[in-house]
Amino acid sequence: MLSEFEFLIIGFQNVTWQMVFMWVIGGLLIWLAVKKDFEPALLLPMGFGAILVNLPLSGVVGDHGSLTWLFEKGINVYEVFPLVLFIGIGAMIDFGPLLSNPRMLLFGGAAQFGIFLTVVLAVLLGFDMNDAMSAGIIGAADGPTSIMVSQKLGSSYQGAIAVAAYSYMALVPVIQPLCIRLVTTKKERMIRMPYNPAKVSKTTRILFPIIVTIIAGFIAPDSVALVGFLMFGNLIRESGCLDSLSQTAQGPLANLITIFLGITISYQMRAEVFVTWGTLVVMALGLFAFIFDTIGGVLFAKLLNIFLPKDKKINPMVGGAGISAFPMSARVIQKMALKEDNQNHLLMHAVGANVAGQIGSVVAGGIILSLAPQFLGM
């Protein structure tokens, strides 16, 4: 009699504590998405997916599992989801503040310092180079770039890297103020920067994404897919003749791909892959990279100020906006500036640095991928 109903309890017999732990992690991600509004479009599907793939004998994983198929086709083999999402992100970005103040582009590069510092630290801690590079790219504060780079390098921590990248993006309003105050004085945070934007012609706006793609192709060929799809989305926006496509890319397309990306990456959150000490260390390394990306941008601004005349000084906080978390970082800088001086408006300067960070993060990802063959024999 018992054998006839054994199928009812076979699932319970296959439950492990690691699975239960991942259910808790999944529930935590859903709670952060719903209650705290932390990147809900990503964390909610990732949280539900974490529960889904960790059910005993789950039918969504395995040779014929639906999430296995989505992961293989959408991320692992063709990288469709991250790249198509970049089209939507590109369509959302207005590079006008950067084009009217090109020196902000410097901060998009300086604020990637933490990535490469973390790679060195991870290697010293004993991680393989592919995992070290993948942990470092978390500092880009760019979820799609982190996912794509870790996948291309074959990191065994792809799930942890995706969770860390999007979680730290959501925590920008908490992490960045602490980092910036640590390395700046009140006097520096009160530096005012008049905003006198130069007029940016439509021709310049159209040529910019094309030129950036070409330059990136020469500097870091492996970044062409990342930069190219981002800039293609921006070209759709700036062309002026594809408004309906631009709105679709910014809204329905980006939202749909985000849902698929979130639940698909949860395939790498299976208990046997995710529940390791290495996962905790990788997430800690990602936080280290994120912190030192912010600090790197701030310190670079302070370095420039040594050589700039008094009336041309840069508020160092603007350098911290050179990460890819757009537009959260720019808003954080504006809020901090107003807290120090209620007449100090840095938003447009910070937006310029922030959109430069979008470019800087994908180029940094391309550089990582270009360097990988030299260290991994790929």
Confidence of residue 57 (pLDDT cuts 50, 70, 90): confident
pLDDT at 1 over 80: no
Question: Exposure of 154 by Cβ count < 10 A (0-12 exposed, 13-18 middle, 19+ buried)?
Answer: middle
For the record, the structure tokens of 85 come out as: 């999402």
Residue 6: the pLDDT is: 67
Q: b/e per residue, 39-70, with b = 16+ CB within 10 A?
A: bbebbbbbbbbbbbbbbeebebbeeebebbeb
Q: What is the pLDDT of residue 378?
A: 53
* pLDDT, the chain, mean: 91
Annotated domain spans of the chain: 14-376
Residue 151 tokens read as: 């996948």
**Rounded CA gap, 26 and 166, in Å?**
14
pLDDT in tens, 231-270: 999 999 999 898 999 999 999 999 999 999 999 999 999 9
- Mean pLDDT, range 305-328, rounded to an integer: 92
Q: Give the CA dihedral 344, 299, 175, 276, nearest 10 degrees.
A: 160
The answer to whether residues 194 and 343 touch, using CB atoms and an 8 Å cutoff, is no
